[in-house]
């Protein structure tokens, strides 16, 4: 693969914010006609818009905490990151957090807390959350650590601060891995990329905790590997309907039903598609396609955006879109700082 260039870092962080801000419009919608998606995206080109009119949600709020913590502590510091999550939530509780994770975030803001992983472990009768809230903020880990083993380890731990079920934190590891490989220029050819992800996740999911969680939730023995095989089958086909993507991969708030979906969106949109404007480049196609799936659109577009941004680089993102999104300029500045940290370590 090619070098992990500054443009890729900027693309990853900015397009993640973009997916969150732009995707908020359709979050939770069951059906989103492509026509409505394109209308929404076209309206961002309107000169009178801009200046951050689209607010970011929990996805970006927590990713910003991850970024600030990694930069300030020049690495992963669980106490610091946990405190930032708690503080962010108590300052802005109205960012659209998942209904369960709110309990964790309240506990994380308590100053006397010693075991910062404990509140997450108490969720859902001790089973922990399998939501996509760990994965939605995982991209910055790939931008802070050049070593693949570090990316996996710290993306997992960073997710466990709120998501202690393996089906939650393993989704974060998969998302960080996808961004890591995309930064190296390893996204294309897609079959090879998926095979790399499967090989890595085979290792990640090869343990008793994962097998036990999968058994309880009636999933395949290695749930993310199984989903990645489905992604590979879908990208091998010339025509795939939105309905098939939703039924095969999902579009919901569980990490298992959204991280592989986000990866599929990026790979499917490497080529021009009939349902999308010819004037769109790959990154624009990825964002538009993610929104058209409906469901957890902000989070799927945020995760797909981060992977696509790492692949195409910052130049692929329309300026008019960036201007409309709260926090996009900040993300751009912080991407530069993470780039410096990455090459210093």
Separation CA 172–CA 37 (nearest Å): 27
Q: Tell whether residue 127 is a contact of ligand 8NA (CB under 6 A).
A: yes
Residues, the chain, total?
345
Segment near ligand 8NA (CB under 6 A); pick from 31-39, 131-139, 236-244, 329-337: 131-139
C-alpha 172/C-alpha 145 separation (Å) is 15
Which residues pair with residue 54 across a beta bridge?
A: 325
Residue 127 or 229 with smaller CB distance to ligand 8NA: 127
Query: Nearest distance from residue 175's CB to ligand 8NA, in Å?
Result: 13
99 binds ligand 8NA (CB under 6 A): yes
Of the ranges 38-46, 92-100, 236-244, 320-328, which one interacts with ligand 8NA (CB under 6 A)? 92-100
What mask, x for binding Mg ion by CB under 5 A, covers residues 95 to 134? -x--------------------------------------
The residue from 60, 69, 132, 261 that contacts ligand 8NA (CB under 6 A) is 132
Site for ligand 8NA in 27-56 (CB under 6 A): 27-28
Interactions with ligand 8NA, residue window 293-332 (CB under 6 A): 296, 298-299
Would you state the structure tokens that stand for residue 187, as one six-digit string? Answer: 């996204």
* Assigned token pair, 342: 């990455």
Contacts of 153 (CB under 8 A, 6+ apart): none
Dump the DSSP string for 135-186: GGG-HHHHHH-SSHHHHHHHHHHHHHTT--SHHHHHHHHHHHHHHHHHHTT-
Task: Indicate which single residue of 299, 303, 305, 325 sits in contact with Mg ion (rule: CB under 5 A).
Answer: 299
Q: Which of residues 61-100 bind Mg ion (CB under 5 A)?
A: 96
User: Toward Mg ion, which CB reaches closer, 24 or 86?
Assistant: 24
Q: Is 34 helix (H, G, I), strand (E, B) or coil?
A: helix
Least distance to ligand 8NA, CB of residue 258, Å: 7
CB closer to ligand 8NA, 200 vs 296: 296
Instruction: Supply the minimum distance, in Å, between the C-beta of residue 116 and ligand 8NA.
Output: 16
Q: How far apart are CA 198 and CA 193, in angstroms?
A: 9
Question: Is residue 332 within the footprint of Mg ion (CB under 5 A)?
Answer: no
Instruction: Tell me how far apart the alpha carbons of residues 318 and 287 are, in angstroms, rounded to a whole number.
Output: 12
CA 107 → CA 12, 38, 86, 186, distances in Å? Answer: 31, 41, 7, 40
How far apart are alpha carbons 281 and 271 in whole angstroms?
9
Query: Interface with Mg ion by CB under 5 A: which residues?
Result: 57-59, 96, 296, 298-299
Query: Interface with ligand 8NA by CB under 6 A: which residues?
Result: 27-28, 57-59, 96, 98-101, 124, 127, 129-133, 136, 165, 253, 296, 298-299
């Amino acid at each position: 693969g090619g070098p992990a260039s500054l443009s890729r870092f900027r693309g990853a962080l900015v397009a993640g914010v973009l997916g969150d801000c732009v995707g908020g419009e359709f979050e939770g919608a069951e059906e989103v006609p492509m026509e409505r998606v394109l209308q929404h995206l076209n309206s961002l080109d309107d000169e009178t818009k801009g200046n951050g009119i689209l607010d970011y949600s929990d996805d970006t709020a927590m990713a910003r905490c991850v970024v600030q913590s990694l930069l300030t502590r020049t690495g992963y510091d669980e106490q610091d990151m946990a405190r930032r999550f708690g503080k962010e939530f108590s300052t802005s509780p109205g960012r659209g957090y998942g209904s369960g994770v709110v309990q964790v975030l309240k506990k994380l803001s308590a100053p006397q807390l010693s075991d910062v992983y404990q509140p997450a472990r108490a969720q859902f009768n001790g089973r922990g959350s399998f939501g996509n809230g760990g994965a939605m903020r995982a991209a910055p880990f790939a931008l802070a650590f050049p070593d693949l083993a570090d990316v996996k380890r710290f993306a997992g731990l960073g997710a466990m601060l709120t998501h202690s079920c393996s089906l939650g934190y393993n989704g974060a590891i998969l998302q960080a891995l996808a961004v890591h490989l995309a930064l190296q220029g390893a996204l294309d050819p897609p079959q090879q990329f998926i095979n790399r992800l499967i090989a890595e996740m085979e290792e990640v999911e090869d343990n008793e905790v994962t097998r036990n969680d999968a058994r309880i939730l009636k999933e395949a023995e290695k749930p993310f590997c199984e989903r990645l095989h489905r992604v590979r089958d879908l990208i091998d086909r010339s025509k795939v309907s939105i309905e098939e993507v939703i039924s095969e991969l999902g579009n919901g708030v569980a990490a298992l039903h959204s991280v592989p979906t986000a990866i599929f969106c990026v790979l499917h949109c490497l080529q021009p598609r009939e349902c999308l404007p010819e004037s769109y480049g790959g990154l624009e196609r990825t964002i538009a396609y993610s929104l058209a799936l409906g469901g957890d659109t902000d989070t799927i577009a945020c995760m797909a955006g981060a992977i696509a941004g790492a692949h195409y680089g910052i130049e692929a993102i329309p300026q008019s879109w960036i201007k409309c999104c709260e926090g996009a300029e900040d993300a751009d500045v912080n991407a530069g700082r993470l780039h410096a940290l990455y090459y210093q370590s």
